[in-house]
Amino acid sequence: MQTITGKRPVGAEYLPVIAGVVVGIGGVGAALALADVDSPLRAPFTLFFLVVAPAMAVGGALRGLDTVARCVLAVTGALALDLLVAQAMLTLHLWSVRGGVLAVGCLSLLILTGTRVARRPRGATGRAGRTTRSQE
C-alpha cells in the first residue's frame, strides 16, 4: 500500500504537460492564421489562441486570487481584450485576421512581460552586479 505524503494534489505532476499542450495548440493556431493556411484546424485553433493567450497573460497577473476567481477573471479579461482589439481595428479601418491575431499576441506578450518585470525583486541585478562581504 502506498501512502501519499506530499501536499501537491493528485494529478499536479501533469500541469506542465497540459500547459505545454495548450501553448502548442495556441501556437499552431496563430501560425496557421498568420501564414493564411487553408486547413480545417485553422478556425478552432486560432479561436483557441485568441482566448487562451490573453487569458494566460491576465491569469498570470492575478496570482493573489483563488483558482476559480482567477479563471473567471482571466477569461473575462481575455474576451474584453479581444473585443477592444477588434473594435479599435474596425474603427481605424485596419481589420484583418492576421492583424487581429498579431495585435492580440503582442498585447498578451506585453501584459505577461509587464507582470514578470513588476514581480522582479527591487534590488535584483545580474551576477556581475552582486557584491559579497569579502569583496567590499
pLDDT by residue for the chain (136 residues), tens only, comes to: 566 565 666 667 888 898 889 999 999 999 999 999 999 999 999 999 999 999 999 998 898 889 899 999 999 999 999 999 999 999 999 999 999 999 999 999 999 999 888 887 776 565 655 555 555 4
Long-range contacts of 41-49 (CB under 8 A, 24+ apart): 46/97, 46/101, 49/25, 49/101, 49/104, 49/105
